[in-house]
Structures are given as C-alpha cells and as structure tokens.
Structure 1
Amino acid sequence: MTSTPRLWRQVPYLLWLTSDTGKGLASTLFSFAVPLLALVVTGDPAQAGIIAAVGTVVRLLMTLAGGVLADRHRRIVMMAFGGALGAGAAGAFTAVALSGRIDFAMLLTFEVLLAAVGGLFNPAGEAALKDIVPESMMGRAQAANQGRDAALQLAGGPIGGMLLAIGGWLIGAAMLIGSVIAAVAGWALGRRVGWGRPEVPRREATEATEATDAPAAEPAASAPPAAPANALRELREGVGWLFRRPDLSTGTVVATVINLGLNAGITTMIYAVLQAGHSEATIGWMMAASGASMLVGALLAPTLVPRIGAGMLMVLGLVTCTTAIAGGVFVQTPWGIALLVSGAVFLLPALNAAFSGYTMVATPTALIGRVNSVGNVLSMGAMPLSPLVAGFGLAWAGRSSTLLLCLVLCTVALVMALLSRPLRSIPAESRWAEHARQYDERVAVTAA
C-alpha cells in the first residue's frame, strides 16, 4: 500500500511558498507604511486616500493584464523577474527615504510602481502553482497559503510599526530583503523544475503522448494561420469560460458579494466604536483578536479541506459571516464586536482554500492565469467599496441601518450559495478532479 505523498516534502512547492512569502512580506509592509507615511508627510488624510485609491485602480487594471501575460509566457520566469523588479523598487524607496526626500509625489510614484509590478507579475506566481503541485494536494497547498497569509497579516502591523518608528528607510530595507528572497527562490524553482511554458503543461503533455496511434494530422501548411495575439480577446476567453461554469461562476459572484457585505459591516462596527470615544489601542486589540482567530482557522484549514466538501465549507462560512453581521446590529461593546468578528473570520481560511483549490484543479492550465485574475479583480474591487459604504452609511443613515444593509448583502450571498446545486455539491479535495469533469463537456458544447 503506497503512502499519500506529503505536501511538505514537495521541494518545488516549498520553493514556490518561499518566493511567494517574500513577496507577500514586502507587500504587507508597504501597504501598512504608505498611509501612515502619507499622513506624517502631508498631514492630510485626503492625500493619503488619493494614494491608496490610485494604487488600487492601477493594481486592478494591471491584474487583468497580468492574467493574460501569465497564460502567454513562462510563469516561473515571470515570478523571478517580478521579484527582481520589486527589489529594485524597494532599493530605490530605501535610498529616497534615507535622503529625506519622501513627499506626496514620491509616495504616489512608488505606490503606482509597486501596484503595477504586483498586478502584472502576481498572477503568474499564482498560476505557476498549478504546474508544480499535484491535483491531489492542491487543497492542502491553498490551505497552507491561507495560514501564511494570516500570519503575515497578524505580524505585519507590529513589525511595520516597529520598523517605521525607527525610520521609513527600514521599511524599504525589509521590503528589499523580501523581494530578493522572492526573486532568488523563484530562480531556484525554475532551475529545479525547468522554466516551462504554459502552452504545454507537463500533465497535459503526458496525455497528448498517449494519442500517438491516432491518424496523422493534416500537414501544418493546410492549417489556418494562428490569429495574432489580442489581449482583450484572450481576456474575454477567460471570462467567458469562467461564466459558463455554474460551479465556479456562482462561487466567484458569491465571494464578491460576501466580501463587500462582511468588510463593510466590520468597518462600520469599527468606525462606530471610534465614534463612541474608544481609543485606537482598543481598536488594535479588537483587530488582533480577529487576526488570531483567522490564524487558528488557517492552521485548521489543512485538516478541514481534505475532509469536508468545499461547497459545505462555503455555506458554513457564509452562515458564520451573516450571523456575525446580524449580531452587530445589537452588540455595541468593543469586546462583544471583537467576539463577533472573530467568529465571522474563523472559517474564512478554509473556505478560501477550498474554493481556490477547486478552481485551480477545475480550470485548464492554459486559462488559469486569466481566470484567477478575474476572480482577484472582483474580490479587490469590493474592498475599496467597503469603507465607502461604512463611511457614507454612518453619516447618512446611522449605524443600525448601515449594518442592516450589510446584513442584506451577506444574506443574498448565503441564499445564492444555498440555491446553487453546482456550488453546494463541490466535494472534498480528493474528488475535485472527478467533480469538475462533469462540467467540461457542457462548457465545450456551449462554447461550440
């Protein structure tokens, strides 16, 4: 009886995780530091908001382009090159900070530069995971990624605060170290598994060789010429494929709606606590409690994903999120809110790992960059709206009415998931490939 291979013995995955963690550390520190530096330098919250808004728009647009590039080019090469570009930008930021020339224009320039680098090259790193991790381990790999992300989020604030207290240049130096790690680990991954091309993934190449007894193909000269590369057409192909899949399209829409409802609700509760006269330190402890809950949930995710169906995990996660926002209508004490938020986020790592892992298994390698980028853009697009909903809602309608609106959004997401049999019936990790295949023929017929 052969033993199931263990994820942590997969050296390519460990190299990928090291590269992605270095990149994630640099991004977390910069995201933490920029708003604070902008406030210190300009003294104007509006200018800090402009920097964040411009960066978000650039990242959204570049992520769509990055998905197309990830399906055209060598993904591991793009991983390593993106890390190298990030290191160059971090080094320049460190030099500018040491010279004392940080101002609004400089912060905006670096925000745009790093947002563009992340948007263009991060999709390639995400897509490369499909080429190096076996389908049977994809859920556990995504669960491990969720644990890493939770740890970065929990530690990023304290680490960034300590570095920033000494000087902004230390943030740049830490970003430089993280980006160098990302580039070196990406280069080592390419050396180990081969740089590869997304057009001929290894798993599909094996299937192709089994068809050698088929009739000979027509000569290449009789085939129609290949259409010239067109980014918009390629992006439409990815979007079209995604929305012909009822399991994936419904999950993507549900994730977008719940992101908006949950984050807007949490932001509303936090803003209301501040308005009630509680200190920033109280808010910090509230967020630390929810971060710790998410970290514990992330540590449990590798156990839950192989045992519980992805559809059931999504429904359970939506129930906890909706319940927390409903409770927030009545609970107003800081620690009561911290308890609600901690309960809401506990299952999110397992939910995210299960759905993203299933998406990786179900999506053809040639489309994975574009499909992932569309999902990421929809998720990121909901995030900037959350503080707007909370801010304008509190100013115009009050706390309870704003939370009721957020509750409606969460309830809509839950009902959509409950009514979608293709989403609700997604099984546990070991049966993802089998479950996904039942939709392949339908998609092919629809596309034809």
Structure 2
Amino acid sequence: MTSSPRLWRQAPYLLWLTSDTGKGLASTLFNFAVPLLALVVTGDPAQAGIIAAVGTVVRLLTTLAGGVLADRHRRIVMMTLGAALGAVAAGAFTVAALAGRVDFAMLLVFEVLLAALGGLFNPAGEAALKDIVPESMMGRAQAANQGRDAALQLAGGPIGGMLLAVGGWLIGAAMFVGALVSAVAGWALGRRVGWGRPEAADADAPQAEAAPANALRELREGVRWLFRRPDLSTGTVVATVINLGLNAGITTMIYAVLQAGHSEATIGWMMAASGASMLVGALVAPTLVPRIGAGTLMVLGIAVCTAAIAGGVFVETPWGIALLVSGAVFLLPALNAAFSGYTMVATPTALIGRVNSVGAVLAMGAMPLSPLVAGFGLAWAGRSSTLLSSLTLCAIALVMALLSRPLRSIPAEARWAEHAKQFDDAEVPVG
C-alpha cells in the first residue's frame, strides 16, 4: 500500500502548492486573454502573433537568468517577491483596462513584463520544492503538480472566457487575486520553514571556488553538470525531441481538420477530450510513479505517443483523431512527474535552479516550432508528409530512450537517490 496520503499532511508542501497554483492561475488567464484582446483591439492576427512571439523570446532569455538567480539567492524570498510584483502588474493591468487604455502597445508592455517576471522568479519557486519536500515523496509531489497543471489548462479556457465576456478588467482582477494568494502563501511558507540559506546549499554543489559572481560562468556550470550526467542529459534531449514531434503531429491533425471544413466547435470538443484524458492521467500518476520505474514510464509514454502519431497518418475523422490524441497524452503526466521528480532528487541543491531552467528553456523552445512545422508542412508537403516528419521525430526519441541504459533503468520513486549516486561517483568536478 502506498504512503501517498502522507504528502497531503506536509504543511510546507501545501503552502508551496497554494502559492504555485495562484501564480499558475494568473498566468493561465493572462495567456488566454492576451491574444483575444489583441485581436479585438487591433483586428490584426499578425499583431497578436507579434505579442506572443516577443513574450516567448523574453521568457526564454529570462528563464536562464532566473535559474542562476534561484541558485544564488533565498528561493522562498524570490518566489514571494515574484508573486508580489505579479500582483502589482495585474493591478496595473486592471486599472488600464477599466480606463479603456487597452491597445497593442499596452498589451505588448504587459506581455513583456509578465514574461520577464515569470522567467526571473519561477525557477526559484520550482527549486524551492527540493528544499521542502522529502526525497521519498518527490515523485508524488511532482505528480500532484501535474494534476494541478492539467486542471488549470482544462478550466482556464472556460473561466477566462466567462471573465473576458464581462471585460478585460475582470481578467486583470482575477490575476491580481491569484498573484496575491501566491504572495501570501509564499510569505506563510517562509515564516514556517525559514527563508532558505543558499550558502548552506553549497555543500553538495560540484563547484569549488568562491569566485566573484558571474552569471555566464554559473550558467555554464549548470549546463556542463547536466550534460555530464547520462541519465539526465539523455532524458532532457529525449523530452525535447518528443515534445516537438508530438506537438507538431497534433497541431498538423487539428489544422487538417479545420482545412477539411469542420467547425471550431468540433475542434473545441476534440481538445476538451484530450484535456480530460490528460486530467485523468494526472490523477492516476501518483499511483504509477511510486510503483513503476521512471525509465519504464518514459519508454511507455513515448511509445504510446509515437503510435498515436503513426495512427494519425491513416485516421482523418475528428472522433478518430480525438481518440488518438487522448491516448497519446494519457501517460504524459506520469512521465513528466517521474522524470522531473528524479531530476530534483539527483541534482545537487545548489544547482537545481540552473538545471531546471535549462530543461524548461529546451521545452519552451520546442513548443513554438510545432505550429511552424505543422503550418509550413501542410502548405508545402501536405498532411501525410508532415505527419511522417512528426512521426520520425517521435521514433527518434523512442530509439534514444530504448538505447540509453542510464535513462531506461531509472527505478521507481523509492530508489531514485540510490540510483543517482552511481552517476555522482563518476562525475568530473565543475569549476
């Protein structure tokens, strides 16, 4: 019988989860509202695309900086400060919307501001989890986070739509409440467990000297440490490749359904079905992660994704595609929870911010490429050829996972620390 219920008796984790959920809700609502508001006020899809593209670039760049900051400074202080600044920005957005000053320039400014806040401060919040959750519960904590994320994604659209129907200012007000809850919970967490002592964390870091602060050098240390680990580096690359292949394939199938003359409502229920499947998968993940090896979960999850994209080459009906996509995403929460949990356990505390930020940047970098692959592929090569390209990427990820014994042999949650030590012994010190 699993000891999962004990996780929910960990008050520090519950405070962290409350803070992270408030921040996640605010981010979900803003990401939903900005493209729609941009289309309403400008009438130009290109301008909405510019806002999204600029925000993505800012988030990518600042996330790398945020990883360095998370390893330099007190993480709970940073996550609380980031939430407080987010509340200030949301309040300003609300005031601007009430005053009728929502235009392209204002939306661009707020997109850049909130993307920068997320990039600079979110890595600290993620890294703080290593300081407050026992290693024996890390997998289940990550699985719970996956369930929370799936619920936000599924509910964010309907909630955002209802709020936006009243006015953009209500989106801002809801963002303010979410960020305020995040800041208050972060403050309560700091009061309960302490604000963190980054200098104490240096004891388990693979770095040797007390050199003057240098962000690029510190970032290189994190990258070099990550790619000297065959278990983590292979998993990171595999995750990036499967993200690109799977999302490009799903996007291609959705675009093709639209091109075939089906309505936006049809796309809506297709995506709702896949969202519901991911939510159910997230609810099942806390049961799977303690029982099945993380490497096994990764191989199974990638194999299912590959099979779904292969099926998409032959299936063109909306209900058939909905079934394929729903099947593809079902194991993703367990896969993500297992690998991210193992990464948290295996990575030294003093490097976790940088290692997590590198993984996040690779994942974020793959996401914008998916619609480009799908769009240009459909225009230049057609549906089948584009899906075959996506299938090739998924197959490459599967072969890499199968051939990598360090990745494939990662055990279930209880043995993560023991498994990681064999790679610690073989590492070359960084510095």
Normalised by the shorter chain, which TM-score bucket? over 0.9
Calculate the TM-score normalised by the size of structure 2.
Answer: 0.97
Runs of 4+ in structure 1 displaced over 6 angstroms?
202-205
Corresponding position of 1:19: 19
Contact in 2 for aligned 1:257/1:413 (Cα 8 Å): yes
CA–CA distance in 2 between the matches of 1:201 and 1:186?
20
Please tell me whether residue 178 in structure 1 is matched to residue 178 in structure 2.
Answer: yes
Corresponding position of 2:187: 187
Corresponding position of 1:167: 167
Q: How many residues align?
A: 427
Corresponding position of 2:314: 330
- Residues 242-321 of structure 1 aligned to structure 2 (within 5 Å): 242-321=226-305
CA–CA distance in 1 between the matches of 2:201 and 2:174?
35
Corresponding position of 2:64: 64
Q: 1:290 to 1:225 in 2, by over 3 A?
A: closer
Please tell me whether residue 234 in structure 1 is matched to residue 218 in structure 2.
Answer: yes
Corresponding position of 1:112: 112
Give the aligned residue type for 1:402. T
User: Unaligned 5+ residue runs, structure 2?
Assistant: none
Query: Residue 6 of structure 1: SS of its match in structure 2?
Result: helix
CA–CA distance in 2 between the matches of 1:197 and 1:58?
29
Cα deviation for residue 203 of structure 1 reads 9.7
1:199-251 deviation digits (Å, cap 9, x = unpaired): 3149969xxxxxxxxxxxxxxxxxx9832100000000000000000000000
Cα deviation for residue 441 of structure 1 reads 1.3
Contact in 1 for aligned 2:4/2:286 (Cα 8 Å): no
CA–CA distance in 2 between the matches of 1:444 and 1:15?
37
CA–CA distance in 1 between the matches of 2:359 and 2:201?
22
Give the aligned residue type for 1:95. V
Q: 1:4 to 1:161 in 2, by over 3 A?
A: closer
Give the aligned residue type for 1:392. F
Q: 1:276 to 1:314 in 2, by over 3 A?
A: same
Contact in 2 for aligned 1:71/1:199 (Cα 8 Å): no
Cα deviation for residue 444 of structure 1 reads 3.2
Please tell me whether residue 368 in structure 1 is matched to residue 352 in structure 2.
Answer: yes
Cα deviation for residue 197 of structure 1 reads 1.7
Please tell me whether residue 342 in structure 1 is matched to residue 345 in structure 2.
Answer: no
CA–CA distance in 2 between the matches of 1:225 and 1:74?
20
Q: 1:339 to 1:59 in 2, by over 3 A?
A: same
Q: 1:140 to 1:202 in 2, by over 3 A?
A: farther
Give the aligned residue type for 2:350. A
Corresponding position of 1:213: none
User: Unaligned 5+ residue runs, structure 1?
Assistant: 206-223
Q: 1:100 to 1:359 in 2, by over 3 A?
A: same
1:332-380 deviation digits (Å, cap 9, x = unpaired): 1111100000000000000000000000000000000000000000000
Please tell me whether residue 377 in structure 1 is matched to residue 358 in structure 2.
Answer: no
Contact in 1 for aligned 2:256/2:383 (Cα 8 Å): yes
CA–CA distance in 1 between the matches of 2:415 and 2:8?
21
Corresponding position of 1:121: 121
Q: Cα RMSD (Å) of the superposition?
A: 1.5
Q: 1:5 to 1:147 in 2, by over 3 A?
A: closer
Contact in 2 for aligned 1:290/1:341 (Cα 8 Å): yes
Corresponding position of 1:153: 153
CA–CA distance in 2 between the matches of 1:225 and 1:22?
38
Query: Residue 200 of structure 2: SS of its match in structure 1?
Result: coil
CA–CA distance in 2 between the matches of 1:77 and 1:100?
35
Give the aligned residue type for 1:184. V
Corresponding position of 1:218: none
1:41-96 deviation digits (Å, cap 9, x = unpaired): 11111111100000000000000000000000000000100000000000000011
Give the aligned residue type for 1:248. L
CA–CA distance in 2 between the matches of 1:246 and 1:18?
34
Give the aligned residue type for 2:428. A
Query: Residue 102 of structure 1: SS of its match in structure 2?
Result: coil
Contact in 2 for aligned 1:131/1:201 (Cα 8 Å): no
Higher Cα Rg, which structure: 1
Calculate the TM-score normalised by the size of structure 1.
Answer: 0.93
Give the aligned residue type for 1:274. L
Corresponding position of 1:404: 388
CA–CA distance in 2 between the matches of 1:385 and 1:60?
14
Give % identity: 88
Cα deviation for residue 196 of structure 1 reads 1.4
1:72-123 deviation digits (Å, cap 9, x = unpaired): 0000000100000000000000011111111111100000000000000000
